[in-house]
Structure 1
Amino acid sequence: MAILILGLVLFLGIHSTRTLAPGVRESAVQSMGLNPWKGLYSVISLVGFVLIIWGYGEVRYTPTWVWVPPVWTRHIAALLLIPAFILLVAAYVPGTHMKARLGHPMVLATKTWAFAHLVSNGTVADILLFGGFLGWAILYYAIARRRDRAEGVTRPAVSGTRDLIAVIVGLVFYGVFALVLHEWLIGVKPFG
């Protein structure tokens, strides 16, 4: 469990510097330069991510159950992940109305992903992993949207075609992940 917690602290901590500790980030950029900061950021993120995977994988063998979710919660999770994948793709398609309206679709995708998995999983490790990401995403989104309004940030929408691209690619990505990659990468078959 300690490895999972350390991974979450590193990964979510480094992803919180701009939002929760902008002075630390700016100080690091000024002292070491932007590219070295990005390199350090990437290394800490990668180490945290690897520790999350390793730690979560280890505790899955000896789970401590807080509750046993009913089977129908898997269906809710599957439905919630459809917009999560679409929002994830919308974060990378420039000029979507989704990004213009929502501002940070990837963070909303993270919220939705984490909530969906909290609904359908009931171990202490699940609560730490998905609850940690959900709490982080809620806080990050609120602060980032407030910062955007204060700085007058706007994201122009180019056309509905870009939204359609995000929806189609998101649905394809969802299908591939749900039907093939989830079992291969995570060891759990969502539909089976």
Structure 2
Amino acid sequence: MLVLVLGLVVFLGMHSLRIVSEPLRDGLRERLGPVSWRVVYSLVSALGLALIVWGYGLARQDPMVLWMPPIGMRHAAALLTLVAFVLLVAAYVPGNAIKARLHHPMLLGTKVWALAHLLSNGTLADVLLFGGFLLWAVLGFRAARQRDRRDGTVYGPARMPATVATVVLGIGAWAAFAFWAHAALIGVAPMGR
């Protein structure tokens, strides 16, 4: 469990610099330069992610069960992760109505993804992993909205083709992950194969 916690601290800590202290983050970026900052940020994040994956895998070998979620929660999680995938794609497709309305769809998608997994899993490792990401996404969304208000950020208008493309790509990515990649990468078939 220690490896998982360490990974969460490293990964979410790096991703929380802007939430906790934007001046600290900006100062580090200025001292290192934009390219070096990206390299350091990416390397630290990759290290944290590797520790999370390794630690979660270790924790799954000897799970500490806190509760047994009802079977129906698997179906709720599948539906919620569909929403999360659409939100994730919305962060990258320019001009879609989802981003124009919600402003930070990746953070919202992370919240939905984490909540879905908390509903359908009941081990201590799950609570640490998905609870940690849920807390981070809630704080990150709040900080991002505060920055938007402070900076007077204006999001561009929505275009229907971009919105349709966002939804179609999100559903396609969700289907590929739900029906194949989740089992191949994580070892759990969420659609019950």
Q: TM-score range by the shorter chain?
A: over 0.9
Is 2:100–2:158's contact at 8 Å kept on the other side of the alignment?
no
Q: Which amino acid aligns with 1:50?
A: A
The equivalent of 1:123 in structure 2 is: 123
Query: Is it true that 1:6 corresponds to 2:16 in the alignment?
Result: no
Mapped partners of 1:108, 1:148: distance in 2: 15
Runs of 4+ displaced beyond 3 Å: none
* C-alpha displacement of 1:19: 2.0
Query: How far apart in 2 are the matches of 1:147 and 1:4?
Result: 31
Q: What CA distance in whole angstroms lies between the structure 1 residues aligned with 2:187 and 2:157?
A: 39
1:158 Cα shift?
4.0
Cα deviation, residue 58, structure 1? 0.6
**Structure 2 counterpart of 1:183:** 183
Distance in 2 between the 1:148 and 1:80 partners?
27
1:24-70 CA-to-partner distances (Å, cap 9, x unmatched) read: 11111221211111110000000000000000001001000100111
Segments of 5+ residues of structure 2 without an aligned counterpart are none
Output one character per residue of 1:106-139: Cα deviation in whole Å (capped at 9) or x when no partner: 0001000000000000000000000000000001
Whether 2:96 is the aligned partner of 1:106: answer: no
Identical amino acids, percent of aligned pairs: 49
Using the TM superposition, name which of 30-39 and 64-73 deviates more: 30-39
- Equivalent residues, number: 192
| Equivalent residue, structure 2, for 1:60 | 60
SS of 2:61's partner is coil
- The equivalent residue for 1:150 is 150
Instruction: Give the CA RMSD over aligned residues.
Output: 0.8
**In the TM superposition, what are the counterparts of 1:64-75 in structure 2 within 5 Å?**
64-75=64-75
Alpha-carbon distance in structure 1 between the residues aligned to 2:180 and 2:29: 41
Q: Which amino acid counterpart does residue 126 of structure 1 have in structure 2?
A: D
Q: How far apart, CA to CA, are the structure 1 residues paired with 2:11 and 2:136?
A: 11
C-alpha distance in structure 1 between counterparts of 2:106 and 2:75, whole Å:
22
Query: What is the alpha-carbon distance in structure 2 between the residues aligned to residue 177 and residue 32 of structure 1?
Result: 37
* 1:60 counterpart SS class: helix
| 1:149, distance to aligned residue in structure 2 (A) | 1.2
C-alpha displacement at 1:154, in angstroms? 1.3
Aligned to 1:162: 162
- What is the distance in 1 between the residues matched to 2:30 and 2:121? 43
Report the residue type matching 2:155 in the other structure.
R
Code of the residue aligned with 1:100 in structure 2: it is: A
CA distance in 2, matches of 1:167, 1:26: 34
Determine if the alignment matches structure 1 residue 89 to structure 2 residue 89.
Answer: yes
Letter in 2 for 1:143: A
Counterpart CA distance in 2 for 1:143 and 1:191 is 35
